[in-house]
Amino acid sequence: MNKRLNEKAVAILKKNDRGGFTIPTARLYPFQWNWDSSFTALGLTTYDPDRAWRELEMLVGGQCSDGMIPSIIFRSDDQDYFPGPKIWQNDNGPVSCTGISQPPVLASVMLSLTDPADTGSCERAMALFDPVMRWHRWFHLFRRTENAPAICTVHPWETGRDNCPDWNTALAGMEVDSELPSYVRKDIEHADASQRPSQLEYDKYLTIVKFGREHGWNQDTLLKDGPLQVADPGLHFILLRANRDLLKLAHILEREDACADIEHWIRAGEAAVNYLWNDEMRAFCARDVRTGIFSNGFSSASALVFYAGAGTQEQRQHTLEHIRRIGDKTRFGQPSWDPDAAGFESQRYWCGPLWCQMNYMIARGLAENGEAGLAEKMRLDLRRVIELSGFYECFDPMSGEGCIGGDFSWTAALWLAWAGRDAPAFQTG
């Protein structure tokens, strides 16, 4: 492991520590983000396992009364960030928060941190087990509809892939609320506007927030009557994997009482996979539930079918062909959007950059499904791009240039846990 970068990564995580939780990066993201904290815990556990568990405990501490663990937990009202708690106005939990969630990687990270032979880690996992069960149940209750068996999202921010072209069709059919209050974006004060979502996209994002706020963040209403309803391969595959990992945790912790529910969720997730298959593209794609229209490109979420342990042999083969085709066009790993598809921009947020956490999950799935060589290439690509540019939020997959936020927590964490290691970290099979 590169000693200098290892020390830098640890220093970033300590600098971004806010007393039990870690912010992604100063100013741009000054609160606790859901999946950021989970990935950050993977890095923290390499040198401070107690602090890693504390990160997860603080995250679960923001759980809402309906079971949702929100995308952002606001433990302060930092005026340097927009939209903050005064815009969201969600007080359905112990701490002010957003009204949407984020990809549920928590159970998978908990499994990574739990050693069956270590009583202490099992006790920490046991304390979080029931809250995580409630969160997974929330997804199955409030992010599925009668018309779509796959996990749906009500807001692009909930997917973690904010302005990915996956949402363009559904957003194009949305109108901006005519009574949307004027606002001042803070993100483009802290980052290059050319790398951030457009103003029209932001107006539509805030239109959805306005709807949710005006309906008291009733999740059933938001799902069924809200402005957006899109089946997302990212959320679906990540939740399916998380359910499989939660089942493993249940066995480790001797929580056999929970197994029947989890097994039911897994079967439902497996049965819904074909709903996301775009036969024309030969790929898993986002799908506008209200029109049935698929997105028109292969995204990094499309590649998560291996991580989920899902799909037919033919679907997996087509997915591998896409991964290899795209990998031949980039210098560094898998980008967030297909370079051959309309809308690709190598430095604009989720329209093309390389994201370390997505490559980590893709590579893990590949390694577990007989593609260890391809997984290792992705790991070494991330190592090279960090060595070239540092610990950025994301990277241009063509040039390797760092994009948007610097000194970024999950990049530092995944350097420690994965990219910077001297040997592969995943089991192969």
Cα separation, 129 vs 137, whole angstroms: 12
Cα separation, 219 vs 238, whole angstroms: 20
Dihedral sign (CA 225, 230, 236, 238): negative
* Residue 74 near residue 95 (C-beta atoms within 8 A): yes
Helix (H) or strand (E) holding 13: helix 3-15
Structure tokens at 93: 């939990």
**How many CA atoms lie within 13 Å of 11's alpha carbon, on the beta-carbon side?**
9
Structure tokens at 107: 């159970």
Q: Which residues are catalytic?
A: 162, 393
* Residue 227 near residue 109 (C-beta atoms within 8 A): no
Dihedral sign (CA 24, 28, 32, 36): negative
Helix (H) or strand (E) holding 248: helix 233-252
Cα separation, 279 vs 297, whole angstroms: 12
Cα separation, 273 vs 134, whole angstroms: 23
Backbone angles phi, psi at 102, to 5 degrees: -150, 170
Cα separation, 169 vs 159, whole angstroms: 16
Cα separation, 301 vs 155, whole angstroms: 16
Radius of gyration (Cα) for the chain, nearest Å? 20
Question: Which residue, 229, 173, 180, is CA-closest to 203?
Answer: 180
Number of Cβ within a 10 Å radius of residue 380: 14
